[in-house]
A and B are shown apart, each in its own frame.
Chain A
Amino acid sequence: NAGVTQTPKFQVLKTGQSMTLQCAQDMNHEYMSWYRQDPGMGLRLIHYSVGAGITDQGEVPNGYNVSRSTTEDFPLRLLSAAPSQTSVYFCASREENEQFFGPGTRLTVL
């Protein structure tokens, strides 16, 4: 049981490049979400999904897309990276009491 996994661990992009952050969970959780963590700003919700085929925007969705074709996978796409998207990104899945976080992806946009 691997829990929530994320790839890559680290990534450096140039402004304007696109990329996909991968997230997978093997706990059969319906609810998955993406957060970004910036110093002094806590964990801010980017997008979330309550099940396969269903996604919705969180607090800071601009510049990001998501899809949920399976229960297990919830990738986050950066369409055209900007320096303001430099952050640590956490994927999470949740069922009832506890939200489980992935190990995070540290993204730097130059």
Chain B
Amino acid sequence: GENVEQHPSTLSVQEGDSAVIKCTYSDSASNYFPWYKQELGKRPQLIIDIRSNVGEKKDQRIAVTLNKTAKHFSLHITETQPEDSAVYFCAASRSNFGNEKLTFGTGTRLTIIP
């Protein structure tokens, strides 16, 4: 089955700086890669996703890059703000049509230092 590794497990950055979280996956058939944000005591929520037919996707301060050859993808947050403090999870799936399992990474606790 799929195995997703996520690094680092914890990350602290100064407010205004950038944060990068990296994930690698094992199943070459995976083609859908979402990122979830989980604030303290809350449920995970989708913040951005990318499919294997594109190499990069941006949404305001958040971007995701994908390297299918190397089987890794990354989340980039620019101009970090205190509300970015949360746990971030990457995931991988063979399909974005909702009928394939999502395998999650172990999470990165991001702390933004004011």
Binding site for B on A (CB under 8 A): 29-31, 33, 35, 40-45, 48, 50, 58-59, 90, 94-99, 101-104
Bound form: Cα–Cα A98–B6 in Å? 20
Chain B residues positioned under 8 Å from A103 (CB to CB): 42-43
Chain B residues positioned under 8 Å from A99 (CB to CB): 34, 46, 102
Bound form: Cα–Cα A97–B106 in Å? 21
Q: Is the CB of B96 within 8 A of A58?
A: no
Binding site for A on B (CB under 8 A): 1, 6, 9, 34, 42-46, 49, 89, 96-99, 101-107
Chain A nearest CB: distance from B9 CB in Å? 7
Contact A90/B44 with A30-B98, A30-B99, A45-B101 known, Cβ cut-off 8 Å: yes
Contact A97/B96 with A43-B104, A102-B43, A103-B43 known, Cβ cut-off 8 Å: yes
Interface of chain A, helix or strand or loop or mixed?
strand
**Of residues A40, A59, A94, A103, which shows the largest number of chain B Cβ atoms within 10 Å of its Cβ?**
A94
- Among B9, B46, B89, B104, the residue within 8 A (CB) of A98 is B46
Interface of chain B, helix or strand or loop or mixed?
loop
Chain B residues positioned under 8 Å from A97 (CB to CB): 34, 46, 49, 96
Q: Is the CB of A40 within 8 A of B106?
A: yes
Bound form: Cα–Cα A30–B103 in Å? 18
Q: Is the CB of B104 within 8 A of A96?
A: no
Contact A45/B9 with A31-B98, A90-B44 known, Cβ cut-off 8 Å: no
Chain A nearest CB: distance from B93 CB in Å? 9
- Among A42, A94, A95, the residue within 8 A (CB) of B89 is A42
Chain B residues positioned under 8 Å from A98 (CB to CB): 34, 46, 49
Chain A residues positioned under 8 Å from B96 (CB to CB): 96-97
Bound form: Cα–Cα A54–B85 in Å? 38
